[in-house]
Amino acid sequence: MSDGRYSEGEFRVGQVLSRTFSVLSRNLLPFCVVTAIAYLPSLWLMAERGQRISTSHVLLLILVGVLLSIVLNALSEAIVLFGAFEDMRGRPVNLMASAQVGLNRLFPVLGVAILVGLFAGIAALFFVVPGFIVLTMLFVAMPACIVERLGPMQSLGRSRELTKGHRWAIFGLWFLVAIVVAIGSGLAGRIGALIGGFALSLLLNLIWGALAGAFNAIMVVVAYHDLRVAKEGVDTDKIASVFD
């Protein structure tokens, strides 16, 4: 991937998507394995949904599943983030090294994930649009937390700073991908159920969920990289030098 120098204000959605596909295609298996593990709690809840169980059991399953999903999704995003940066620097992706980075920053990363969800949820209570605005403003909080080693609140502030002036483009980026992911998830479930029943439906959902999770994590990393290049004139090596 070529980095080059970007003029102030240059941030292109098409370029982010293109680079995301490039990074994912070079690391499809390792990244999807990581995100597939993170998707397992959601799959587990889907499998249990059809069982006849008590209301209290359902509530416990939901609580455990949500907690596991938060932890594993945050950790998987951190792992993929580090791996994506290594790929962007022309280095081989090492999942063990990536996992070490993710574990070292696990608690701040969890803080960011919880705060983003909390603020977006509160905003959405007033109306859907404020929730979208918050998600757009905090779109790159996670890579800011890991790369710049910031605390949760500082990471949210850093994301607001980086996204300023580019929020319509960022909103269009993540909203478009979210629609595609939702359509793909629905199709995977329906096709699996028609061809092979519930088991195949779960398998196809796992595959699609792993692909979507890996793509989203890389997209956030690439967007963070491109925003810093556009606004600050830094290159990939300088951004990722914190990991050396």
Residue pLDDT, tens place only, 129-152: 888 999 999 999 999 998 889 999
Quick check: 47 and 202 in contact, CB under 8 A?
A: yes
Which range in 16-20, 86-90, 236-240 is most confidently predicted, on average pLDDT? Answer: 16-20
CA-CA distance, 22 to 24, in Å (whole number)?
5
Q: How deeply is 119 buried, as exposed, middle or buried, from its count of CB atoms within 10 A (0-12, 13-18, 19+)?
A: middle
When pLDDT is averaged across residues 214-240 and rounded to a whole number, the result is 85
pLDDT band for 10, please (50, 70, 90 cuts): confident
Q: What is the pLDDT of residue 219?
A: 95
CA-CA distance, 13 to 28, in Å (whole number)?
21
CA-CA distance, 42 to 196, in Å (whole number)?
20
Region of 150 on the Ramachandran plot (φ > 0 left; ψ -120 to 50 alpha; else beta): beta
Q: What is the pLDDT of residue 82?
A: 86
Among residues 141, 225, 128, 144, which one has the least CA distance to residue 178?
A: 128
Q: Is the pLDDT of residue 6 over 80?
A: no
**Which of 137-141, 188-192, 232-236 comes out lowest in average pLDDT?**
232-236
Q: Is the pLDDT of residue 4 over 50?
A: no
When pLDDT is averaged across residues 168-176 and rounded to a whole number, the result is 94
Quick check: 208 and 166 in contact, CB under 8 A?
A: no
What is the number of other CB atoms lying within 10 angstroms of the CB of residue 186?
Answer: 12
Among residues 98, 102, 77, which one has the least CA distance to residue 212?
A: 77
Q: Is the pLDDT of residue 229 over 50?
A: yes
Quick check: 221 and 85 in contact, CB under 8 A?
A: yes
Look-up: residue for tokens 């249990």? 48
Q: What is the pLDDT of residue 8?
A: 44
When pLDDT is averaged across residues 88-114 and rounded to a whole number, the result is 90
pLDDT band for 53, please (50, 70, 90 cuts): low
**Which of 45-54, 67-76, 185-194 comes out lowest in average pLDDT?**
45-54
Q: Is the pLDDT of residue 179 over 80?
A: yes
**Which of 48-62, 89-103, 167-181, 214-228 comes out lowest in average pLDDT?**
48-62
Sign of CA dihedral 166, 167, 170, 172: negative
Q: Residues 6 or more apart from 119 whose CB is under 8 A from it? A: 134, 138, 156
| Better-scored residue on pLDDT, 58 or 40 | 40
CA-CA distance, 104 to 101, in Å (whole number)?
5
Q: Which two tokens stand for residue 50?
A: 């059809």
Q: What is the pLDDT of residue 2?
A: 41
Q: What is the pLDDT of residue 5?
A: 40
Q: What share of the chain is helix, strand, coil (3-state, %, to 5)?
A: 85, 0, 15
**Which of 5-9, 55-59, 108-112 comes out lowest in average pLDDT?**
5-9
Q: What is the pLDDT of residue 241?
A: 64
Prediction pTM value: 0.85
CA-atom Rg of the chain in angstroms? 18
